[in-house]
Amino acid sequence: MELDERKKKILQAVIRNYLETGEPVGSRTISKYTDLNLSSATIRNEMADLEEMGYILQPHTSAGRIPSDKGYRLYVDTMMEEKEREVVEMKEMLVERQDKMETLLKQVARVLAQNTQYATMISAPQTKRNKLKFIQLSRVDEKQILVVIVTEGNVVKNNILPVNDGLSDETLLKLNILLNTHLNGLSIDEINLGIISVMKQQAGIHSDIVSDVIDAVAEGIRAEEDVEIYTSGTNNIFRYPELADQQKASELINTFEEKHLLGEFLQDTQAEESGTGIQVYIGAETPVRSMQDCSVVTATYELGGGMKGTIGIVGPKRMDYDKVVGTLRTIQTQLDELYRKD
Amino acid sequence: MELDERKKKILQAVIRNYLETGEPVGSRTISKYTDLNLSSATIRNEMADLEEMGYILQPHTSAGRIPSDKGYRLYVDTMMEEKEREVVEMKEMLVERQDKMETLLKQVARVLAQNTQYATMISAPQTKRNKLKFIQLSRVDEKQILVVIVTEGNVVKNNILPVNDGLSDETLLKLNILLNTHLNGLSIDEINLGIISVMKQQAGIHSDIVSDVIDAVAEGIRAEEDVEIYTSGTNNIFRYPELADQQKASELINTFEEKHLLGEFLQDTQAEESGTGIQVYIGAETPVRSMQDCSVVTATYELGGGMKGTIGIVGPKRMDYDKVVGTLRTIQTQLDELYRKD
DNA sequence: TGTTAGCACTCATTTAAAGAGAGTGCTAAT
DNA sequence: ATTAGCACTCTCTTTAAATGAGTGCTAACA
């Protein structure tokens, strides 16, 4: 059977209507609110075909039709039109430039959740392949030194190390020079045993401190490995009855609390990377089990300097894809404009 | 009417039973599972009295009784016995010493949520009245310097400042000395305009950088002002039908997401401070509106060096107070032992 | 041949009624 | 003071009937 123009129009009408109301939509509705000028009987025949083809389905024999995952997919791939109007409105919701990455991401998550009425998650940009820019040891008191590590993206990590023997200011200065000359500009992968042993040799009696510092650097990176994730609007899921029953709501909320699950997802999606950086996962397409009944739209964003992170919007399968994609695109541009100069 | 010994025993039995089952408890149950050896009719009379006195109430005419807030209050104040057995079990659930405050607090929250099956929240220790221990400026690249601030509790803050004119290493060194000699050992309140103007004078042409640094310090502290709050086990509320309906669940989850509300609460409770540092809020006693149908048990903990924070456990009013108080006490001791040496 | 009116049929949802069960309050006897 | 007994209350469950949206199919129509 072929999916001719008329069938497409009907499918689109069914989906549009279902997105709005959340109720199964019947033949009569389509017949009335469509410019096709066909009787409900004809629509019924067409809908039977569409069902056979797998684009829509009936919750039970005498109900209207709802889109199947396959139907949504077709809609998203070929029939969606971004809502310009919504996009414009969104512009008002400004994201302000923030010095702290954390503040920025929290703000973006909040603004998006408020604007879309769905749940949002956002992963901090990866520093993984970033280069070391600056290392500094300073004495904090007799028994402790502070290690500060700055990477290319101006991400700062610090770590306090206990130290047994009192180090003189001079030694500290020497160590600082040693560390910086050897390590600056290197990415984490490039710090190999060779470099480490050379440094240890040059450090002489203080070689153990060098080890400690290297460990601290490694840890700083490893800590970054399980990426920071910020979420917002979790409780928006209660707006959608199909997600709000105890079982599902509880699982979803748990997922949003145990952020590591989200982390994997966001990172993988970033790796896949489509043309615009925007991807749509419908129902079972999401790799996260608790989101089987949701759809997720993700967008990769960039903060200049090649620092990329991912934003995800989680809602019911009948989410307003048009609006969400538009909104995400707006945010992408805003972030890009705000941080391009870096 | 007087609350004699027998009435107390009956009240206690009612509460105990209700805590276990969550169902209204009837006269027959009490009569059977109590060593009072009284018929259900007698119990009924006594329960009528208890109801008149306001300790228990009936959901409807022909139901058993459930404790009122007043009843719970009496129970918590005078009839509770901590469960030694539970406490022992808890000991197994070790909290490991962590270098990063953040990691530690997240862990404590998680362990507690898992152990109690309630929702938990924990506020990071306040650094408010803390003294500055160490400040350091370093050049990160031509246009930016890094300000690192360490306070007494070894809490590290950093901030990257843009800087117009290239500063020489010498100037930076001088500024570092200037800042440290003037500011070290001072608490935030003690840094007044006087000190600032003296410093500016001594900094000469670089006085604007001094301003910037002072601002950075202030901001570092202000950022601390809205305390970090970590939560865990939010979705445990679904275990308790009386909290799990959409309306309430949604509000509660929202409260746990918008942490500033929790922050105020935790800080206030810390200020009130009872003997053991453990406080119980029953129903309407909690200042957070969305927790009107919950009980909250809070405990102040200390991490050495006078750094105090608060842990809160949120559950239904029929929470297992005995166990929760015991568990919190254990955690208090554990934290105390782990961090005393600091 | 595609379209449509008409009608019997299906099935979730609503409404009403009837029962069952748990528990109370009160009275009268011990 | 305690208790057995009984009528009464109120929720919850079950069952049955009514409602209504929507379908599938057939036969007539352009």
- For the beta carbon of residue B164, count every other beta carbon within 10 angstroms: 8
Has residue A279 got a pLDDT over 90? yes
Q: Report long-range pairs for A84-92 (Cβ below 8 Å, ≥24 apart).
A: A84/A326, A86/A322, A86/A323, A86/A326, A86/A327, A87/A326, A87/A327, A87/A329, A87/A330, A90/A115, A90/A326, A90/A327, A90/A330, A90/A331, A91/A330
Residue A134 touches chain B, beta carbons under 8 Å = yes
Contacts of A245 in chain B (CB under 8 A): none
Same structural domain for residues A89 and A21? Answer: no
| Nucleic chain C contacts, protein chain B, residues 51-70, CB cut-off 7 A | 51, 58, 61-65
Interface test with chain A among B141, B253, B261, by most A beta carbons within 10 Å: B253
Has residue A1 got a pLDDT over 70? yes
CATH number of the domain bearing residue A237 = 3.30.450.40
What is the greatest pairwise CA distance in chain B? 92
B160 and A156 in contact by Cβ < 8 A?
yes
Predicted confidence at residue A273, as pLDDT, reads: 77
Predicted confidence at residue B210, as pLDDT, reads: 84
Same structural domain for residues B159 and B62? Answer: no
Please tell me the distance in Å from B5's CA to the nearest CA on chain A. 43
Same structural domain for residues A240 and A252? Answer: yes
B141 and A133 in contact by Cβ < 8 A?
yes
Q: Tell me how many domains chain A contains.
A: 3
Q: Report long-range pairs for A242-247 (Cβ below 8 Å, ≥24 apart).
A: A242/A22, A242/A293, A242/A316, A242/A317, A242/A318, A243/A293, A243/A294, A243/A316, A244/B246, A246/B238, A246/B244
Q: Is there contact between A42 and strand C, defined as CB under 7 Å from any strand atom? A: yes
DSSP H or E segment with residue B215: helix B207-225
Domain end among A18, A46, A79:
A79
Same structural domain for residues A53 and A168? Answer: no
CATH number of the domain bearing residue A51 = 1.10.10.10
Range of weakest confidence among A41-55, A294-308, B281-295: A294-308
Residues near B186 by beta carbon (within 8 Å), at least 6 away in sequence: B131, B132, B195
Between CA B67 and C1' D6 the distance (Å) reads: 28
- For the beta carbon of residue A194, count every other beta carbon within 10 angstroms: 8
Report B:155-194 residues touching A (Cβ under 8 A): 156, 158-160
Predicted confidence at residue A200, as pLDDT, reads: 87
Has residue B88 got a pLDDT over 80? no
Between CA A83 and C1' C3 the distance (Å) reads: 35
Between CA B318 and C1' C25 the distance (Å) reads: 28
Residue B25 has what DSSP assignment? B
Has residue A289 got a pLDDT over 70? yes
Residue B54 has what DSSP assignment? T
Tell me which chain A residue has its CA closest to the CA of residue B134. A140
Three-class SS of chain A: CCCCHHHHHHHHHHHHHHHHHCCCECHHHHHHCCCCCCCHHHHHHHHHHHHHCCCEECCCCCCCEEECHHHHHHHHHHHCCCCHHHHHHHHHCCCCCCCCHHHHHHHHHHHHHHHHCCEEEEECCCCCCCEEEEEEEEEEECCEEEEEEEECCCCEEEEEEECCCCCCHHHHHHHHHHHHHHHCCCEHHHCCHHHHHHHHHHHHHHHHHHHHHHHHHHHHHHHHHCCCEEEECHHHHHHCCCCCCHHHHHHHHHHHHCHHHHHHHHHHHHHHCCCCCEEEEEHHHCCCHHHCCEEEEEEEEECCCCCEEEEEEEEECCCCHHHHHHHHHHHHHHHHHHHCCC
Q: Is there contact between A58 and strand C, defined as CB under 7 Å from any strand atom? A: no
Same structural domain for residues B201 and B139? Answer: yes
A238 and B232 in contact by Cβ < 8 A?
no
B235 and A257 in contact by Cβ < 8 A?
yes
Predicted confidence at residue A222, as pLDDT, reads: 60
Give the pLDDT mean for B160-180.
83
Predicted confidence at residue A92, as pLDDT, reads: 57
Closest nucleotide C1' to the C-alpha of B37: D2
Query: Which of the nucleotides in strand C have any atom less than 7 Å away from a protein CB atom?
Result: 3-6, 9-12, 21-27
Predicted confidence at residue A94, as pLDDT, reads: 61
Give the pLDDT mean for A259-288.
91
Please tell me the distance in Å from A307's CA to the nearest CA on chain B. 18
Share of chain A above pLDDT 70, in %: 90
Average pLDDT, chain B: 87
Same structural domain for residues A234 and A195? Answer: no
Query: Which of the nucleotides in strand D have any atom less than 7 Å away from a protein CB atom?
Result: 2-5, 8-11, 20-26
Average pLDDT, chain A: 87
- Please, which pLDDT band fits residue B299 given cuts at 50, 70 and 90? very high
Has residue B218 got a pLDDT over 80? no
A150 and B156 in contact by Cβ < 8 A?
no
Give the pLDDT mean for A281-295.
96
Q: Which of A20-29, A226-235, B161-170 has the highest mean pLDDT?
A: A20-29
DSSP H or E segment with residue B61: none
CATH number of the domain bearing residue B208 = 3.30.390.60
Has residue B87 got a pLDDT over 80? no
Interface test with chain B among A136, A235, A254, A258, by most B beta carbons within 10 Å: A235
Same structural domain for residues B279 and B318? Answer: yes
Give residue-wise pLDDT tens across range B317-337. Answer: 999 999 999 999 999 988 888
Residue A250 touches chain B, beta carbons under 8 Å = yes
Query: Are residues A230 and A121 in contact, defined by beta-carbon separation less than 8 angstroms?
Result: yes
D10 closest protein residue (CA to C1'): B62
Share of chain A above pLDDT 90, in %: 51
Contacts of A100 in chain B (CB under 8 A): 223
Give the pLDDT mean for A312-336.
94
Predicted confidence at residue B288, as pLDDT, reads: 96
Domain end among A208, A225, A242:
A225
Has residue B92 got a pLDDT over 60? no
Which domain range does residue A20 map to? 5-79
Give the pLDDT mean for B99-123.
91
Give the pLDDT mean for A24-43.
94
Query: Are residues B336 and B302 in contact, defined by beta-carbon separation less than 8 angstroms?
Result: yes
Please tell me the distance in Å from B244's CA to the nearest CA on chain A. 7
- CA B4 from chain center: how many Å? 37
Same structural domain for residues B235 and B303? Answer: yes
Has residue B165 got a pLDDT over 90? no
Give the pLDDT mean for B68-97.
76
Between CA A63 and C1' C13 the distance (Å) reads: 12
Has residue A141 got a pLDDT over 60? yes
Please tell me the distance in Å from B10's CA to the nearest CA on chain A. 35
- Please, which pLDDT band fits residue B84 given cuts at 50, 70 and 90? low
Same structural domain for residues B331 and B207? Answer: no
Query: Are residues B161 and A156 in contact, defined by beta-carbon separation less than 8 angstroms?
Result: no
Residue B310 touches chain A, beta carbons under 8 Å = no
Q: Which residue has the higher pLDDT, A308 or B250?
A: B250
- Please, which pLDDT band fits residue A45 given cuts at 50, 70 and 90? very high
Contacts of B141 in chain A (CB under 8 A): 133-134
pTM of the model: 0.85
Tell me which chain A residue has its CA closest to the CA of residue B173. A173
Rg from Cα positions in chain A: 27
Task: Tell me the two tokens of residue A246.
Answer: 């105890």
Q: Which residue has the higher pLDDT, B262 or A172?
A: B262
DSSP β-bridge partners for residue B122: B230, B311
Has residue A173 got a pLDDT over 70? yes
Compute the Cα dihedral for B332, B334, B336, B339 and give only its sign.
negative
B146 and A160 in contact by Cβ < 8 A?
no
Residue A53 touches chain B, beta carbons under 8 Å = no
Q: Is there contact between A40 and strand D, defined as CB under 7 Å from any strand atom? A: yes
Same structural domain for residues A170 and A268? Answer: no
Q: Which among B136, B160, B250 has the least Cβ separation from residue A235? A: B250
Domain end among A79, A114, A145:
A79
Q: Is there contact between B117 and strand C, defined as CB under 7 Å from any strand atom? A: no
Same structural domain for residues B55 and B28? Answer: yes
Same structural domain for residues B175 and B314? Answer: no
